[in-house]
Structure 1
Amino acid sequence: MATDRVVLTGGNGFLGFHVRAALKERGADAVNIPLGHSYDPVNSVRAVEGADRVIHLAGVNRGSDQEVSEGNVVFAEQLAESVQHCSVPPRTVVFANSVQAANSGVYGIAKARSAKILRTAAESVGAEFHDVVLPNLFGEHGRPFYNAVTATFCYLLARGEQPTVQNDSLLSLLHAQDAADQLLGGVAGGSPPKLAVQLTVNDLLRRLVDIARLYERGEIPDVSSEFSRNLFNTYRSYTLRTLAPINLTKHADARGSFFEILRSHGGTSQSSFSTTAPGMSRGDHFHRRKVERFTVLSGTATIAMRRIFTDNVVEFHVSGEVPMAVDMPTMWAHKITNTGPGELFTSFWSNDIFTSQAPDTISEAVF
């Protein structure tokens, strides 16, 4: 996959961010082509020409009925035009469809029409067509009051507010990183039932309230299942400015000092320890799913992190004299640098037992 050339529409959106993060693990990036008013037929054809995989993510899910109906269809028609005008057509065309395509609502009808338009275009040039039907998506950095109810709940809870449920209903939730793998061909077609989880809106809110309650105390909730881990990672993507770093209580007497690094409420875990020479750094990578905590035991350091695809760098200055823990957000490049005159002693904890076959550690410089 590392040598494949991938083209995206909607690459700057919520799902686009997660697809591009998944691509980085494969050593690749994507070309993003704009649609709608910014559509350029010449540049679009040039981008799609000979691509290994074209993934259509762009869509309109907010607006008037006319804007939703016409916007989605126009996007599909523009991409179909580009596919059909290539002298060397793309090998595969993938459509990020929605379970709502089976409904009679305006959005569902527009998604169903878009699928037909893209299927016809792909088949006319001999390209494979994958209609990937996705349920409700959730994940890190979703836009509250827009992308999904999960994002709204997380946003409000991270700010100390209490969300309420007006109309309870059954949800089928899929993490955006799992959706990204599916769109990139890492999972067989169809929405995988083992990854999509069904629960009610009230159940979702109760889970998130429990996560927020524990994490406010610096504790790691039960992350023994993939869904609970993904939900926790989603929640903590809204807490970087409000809960980091995590202050730890230091107890000292004539014998020395003691402090707890963390309390974990379930799931596998791995602890490790490092020394770092003055001026040296460790890290410059990011994780897609791993929960990881850094705690300086002795010495002084700067922990720097940057959300991938942005210049947004956040730094924390930490010391063993005033113990505190910093959790690494998923899809943020991070590193720790020894800023003191002596050796730096650091404890590392993760929920994931490291394996070289699936390290979930992707090289990416913070700056």
Structure 2
Amino acid sequence: MLRLAITGGGGFLGWHIRVLLRALGWPEPVLLTRADLADRAIVAEKVSGVDRVLHLAGVNRADDPAEVTAGNARLATRLAEGLHAASVPPGSVVFANSVQAGNGTPYGDGKAAAADILADTGLPLDDVRLPNLYGEHGRPRYNSVVATFCRLLADGGRPEVHQDRQLDLVHVTDAAARLIGVPAGGSWDPALPALRVGVRELADRLGHLATVYRTGDVPPLPDRHHVRLFNTYRSHCFPAHYPLPLPRRADARGELVEAVRAHGGAGQTFCSSTVPGVTRGEHFHLAKVERFVVLRGSADICLRRVGDDEVVRFPVSGDTPVLVDMPTMWVHKIVNTGPDELVTLFWTNELFDPDRPDTWPEPVERLPSGRVAVPA
């Protein structure tokens, strides 16, 4: 369990690293903002004595291409100056570099220059060259083409591909595991397994996921990248697309509700009864797809994105069955709010494995300070 300091901790990769650290139970990392990097004394104080400094901050785009090169070098220089001034030097530095480093583009040249600057500090340097990253809550038209396509599809549009090319896509949680130095787990792989796919094929694959899921059906999820692409798409649907109504069919015998229609997959289904006032959940998942459907009684389904304060609440009732799928990396719970027993159907895309449960405990409610509230 290491104590880390992170530059760029508020970005796409930085957020996923902080989520993984939360799941692992590691200490909250020390965050270095861009304003901090402008002050050598602040950097020195924050990095002093930490086990590892993760340098994620960079410049991806600018109106002037030369600023992309200069900006990456400048951020590395400011960090290096703070490292030199630390009273207790950190144990090592990990640089989130790019496979484009040194390819002659402004971005590639800037990343290569940053790596050289950090190497000159004399501290042990892990120079990690990352390919294209994708994952939940990426910024469209900024973090990855996956985020751009997912946002278009979630908004009812269709991606247009004008120039096809091959991509190597790595899920951001795998990159997070590589950078913090943890071995393979149930939901991450620091070996960075890549999906090799063309842009047009990617658009078609995501379009199929969106089409099948539009009515709540679960698309085929034959491998880990299909699951993670689906989770990425779902992150752009939440919370606006939920809860999703379920069709009810009734005759003289009673009623029928189709709660889960999984195309080409199985998973695990189970039901629970919950007495009034009792809460179930208070955890999050990194990769597991999980569905809640209340069949009898009334409840609040409450969710909070890891690291955020805002809680999203869905009042649901068995009188009007709906589905709510839990987005990955959102803490969630279900509370029986009625006077009678609550009956809930749960479905997950994978069988429960007690050795690798992908279930990370954390309360939904947070205190005003930002700390989590411990349930009574």
Q: TM-score, normalised by structure 1?
A: 0.94
- How far apart, in 1, do the equivalents of 2:193 and 2:265 lie? 18
Specify the SS of the correspondent of 1:321: coil
Mark the CA change 1:66 to 1:194 in structure 2 (over 3 Å): closer, same or farther: closer
Deviations 1:80-120 (A, max 9, x none): 11222223221121000111104110100110111111122
Displacement, 1:224? 2.2
**Alpha-carbon distance between aligned partners in 2 of 1:32 and 1:266, rounded to the nearest angstrom:** 43
Task: Choose from 300, 313, 324 the match for 2:298.
Answer: 300
Residue 209 in structure 1 maps to residue 207 in structure 2: yes
Deviations 1:33-86 (A, max 9, x none): 123676322221111111112111100001021221111011111111122222
C-alpha spacing 1:227/1:37, structure 2 compared with 1 (3 Å): same
Verify: 1:168 aligned to 2:164, yes or no: yes
Task: Give a deviation string over 1:123-154, Cα, whole Å, max 9, x none.
Answer: x2xx4311111111111111111111111110
1:271 and 1:350 in contact (8 A); partners too = yes
Distance 1:214 1:241, change over 3 A: same
CA distance in 1, matches of 2:24, 2:166: 35
Cα distance between partner residues in 2 of 1:170 and 1:314: 38
2:34 match: 35
- Which amino acid is the alignment partner of residue 131 of structure 1? D
Q: Equivalences for 1:2-41 in 2 at 5 Å?
A: 4-28=2-26, 29-35=28-34, 39-41=38-40
Equivalent residue, structure 2, for 1:186? 182
Secondary structure of the 1:243 match is coil
CA contact (8 A) 2:55 2:94 kept: yes
Identity of aligned residues (%): 49
Q: 1:267, CA displacement in angstroms?
A: 4.2
Structure 1 residue ranges without an equivalent (≥5)? none
Q: 151, 156, 173: which one pairs with 1:177?
A: 173
Counterpart for residue 352 of structure 2:
354
Q: Which among 128, 145, 151 is matched to residue 124 of structure 2?
A: 128
Q: Which residue of 1 aligns with 2:374?
A: none
Question: Any runs of at least 4 consecutive aligned residues in structure 1 with deviations exceeding 4 A, and if so which?
Answer: 191-194
**Structure 1 residue 268 displacement after superposition:** 4.9
Partners of 2:37 and 2:78 within 8 A in 1:
no
Q: How many corresponding residue pairs?
A: 359
Secondary structure of the residue aligned to 2:101 is helix
**Structure 2 vs 1, CA of residues 357 and 199 (structure 1 numbering), >3 Å: closer, same or farther?**
same
In structure 2, the partner of 1:84 is: 84
Structure 2 equivalent of residue 75 of structure 1: 75
C-alpha displacement at 1:193, in angstroms? 6.8
1:225, 1:267 within 8 Å by CA — same for their partners in 2? Answer: no
Is contact 1:299–1:342 with CA below 8 Å preserved after alignment?
Answer: yes
Partner of 1:232: 230
RMSD (CA atoms) = 1.7
8 Å CA contact 1:306, 1:332 repeated in 2: yes
TM-score normalised per structure 2: 0.92
Residue number in structure 2 paired with 1:251: 249
Could you list the runs of 5+ residues in structure 2 that have no partner in the other structure? 366-376
CA contact (8 A) 2:289 2:327 kept: yes
| Map of 2:268 onto structure 1 | 270
In 2, are the aligned partners of 1:211 and 1:221 still within 8 Å (CA)? Answer: yes
Contact 2:41–2:85 at 8 Å: present in 1 too? no
Q: Which residue type is aligned with residue 54 of structure 1?
A: V
1:97–1:140 distance in 2 versus 1, CA, 3 Å: same
Q: Distance in 2 between matches of 1:102 and 1:21?
A: 31
- Helix, strand or coil: the match of 1:162? coil
CA distance in 2 between partners of 1:193 and 1:284 (Å): 30
CA, structure 1 residues 194+89, in 2 after alignment: closer, same or farther (shift >3 Å)? closer
Change (3 A) 1:43 1:193: closer
Match of residue 148 from structure 1: 144
d(CA) in 2 for partners of 1:34 and 1:241? 29
Residues 212-233 of structure 1 show CA distances to partners (whole Å, capped at 9, x for unaligned) of 0011010111122110000000
Structure 2 counterpart of 1:113: 113
Q: Deviations over 1:177-222 (max 9, x none)?
A: 111111111259xx97761111110010000000000110101111
Does the 8 A contact of 1:140 with 1:235 survive in 2?
Answer: yes
CA distance in 2, matches of 1:88, 1:267: 53
- Rounded to whole Å, the distance in 2 between the matches of 1:365 and 1:187 is 26
**Retained in 2: the 8 A contact 1:224–1:268?**
no
Distance change in 2, residues 1:179/1:193 (3 Å): closer
Please say if residues 37 and 79 of structure 2, whose CA atoms lie closer than 8 Å, have aligned partners that are also in contact.
no
